[in-house]
Amino acid sequence: MTTPAQAAREREKQRVARLEDIVRRAKGDRWSFDVDGKQTHILSLRATGESVVLCTIHDEALPDEIELISGALANIVLLLELRQRAIIALKSGRASQPQQPTQQQRQMRDGDFAANAAILCGQPLFHRFLERRARDCRAIHNKDHADKVMKQLIGITSKTQLNKEERAQAAFIDLRSDFEVWKERGRA
């Protein structure tokens, strides 16, 4: 006999499998939005080259609601990737490691992370990434604006902290890794 908890878990598995199937079929598609007067159109540029309007959102919609809808495909892909990484970590035993970092894990990595951050802030593609990550961020058109947004995202006031503080360095490494994943996924 199936318990209610087992039935609920089975329904969750079916929903995840359905999302995985949809993402597989949408591979290579990119969603974006276009504003036309008081309406926002969510567009899909399909891997086949076809461009279609998926839906129209009226001017009463809030920016967060528009972002949530237009980013749905990319967000599902991200969540499924995180789920897969968690499964791999669990199977490889990394989940059973101690929660407190060891002395070796706490050591800062060598390298000039401040210089690396400055280089990234000069790249227009990194600007687009930051625009998507930051709340209430308008278009980034220069290195200084990108620098300011990046510092806010990782919680620092100066890039020199990246070479001196473990927390700042870890936050930057995470942001940079997310940027690399975003680039590889086709800037979804």
Tens of pLDDT, residues 18-46? 998 988 888 888 888 788 888 888 888 98
pLDDT given for residue 96 in this prediction:
45
Tens of pLDDT, residues 121-138? 999 999 988 988 887 777
User: Where in the sequence is the domain holding 64, given as residue range(s)?
Assistant: 9-91
Contacts of 24 (CB under 8 A, 6+ apart): none
- Bridge partners for 51 per DSSP: 45
Tens of pLDDT, residues 93-130? 654 444 554 444 445 566 688 889 999 999 999 998 89
Tell me, yes or no, whether 46 lies in a domain.
yes
Mean pLDDT within 164-173: 88
Q: Is the pLDDT of residue 158 over 90?
A: yes
Whether residues 73 and 37 share a domain: the answer is yes
Q: Which of 37, 66, 91 is the last residue of a domain?
A: 91
Whether residues 86 and 113 share a domain: the answer is no
Q: What would the two tokens of residue 104 be?
A: 């070796």
Q: Which of 91, 125, 159 is the last residue of a domain?
A: 91
pLDDT given for residue 39 in this prediction:
83
Residue 69 near residue 57 (C-beta atoms within 8 A): yes
What's the predicted TM-score (pTM) here? 0.46
Rounded CA separation 166/172 (Å): 10
Helix (H), strand (E) at residue 134: none
Tell me, yes or no, whether 98 lies in a domain.
no
Q: Which of 35, 62, 91 is the last residue of a domain?
A: 91
Helix (H), strand (E) at residue 35: strand 30-36
Query: Percentages helix, strand, coil for the chain, rounded to the nearest 5?
Result: 60, 10, 30
Tell me, yes or no, whether 117 lies in a domain.
yes
Tell me, yes or no, whether 131 lies in a domain.
yes
Tens of pLDDT, residues 41-52? 888 898 899 999
pLDDT given for residue 94 in this prediction:
56
- Selection from 61, 70, 75, 74 nearest residue 34 by Cα: 70
Q: Is the pLDDT of residue 174 over 60?
A: yes
Whether residues 143 and 123 share a domain: the answer is yes
Rounded CA separation 99/149 (Å): 31
Whether residues 71 and 128 share a domain: the answer is no
Whether residues 15 and 71 share a domain: the answer is yes
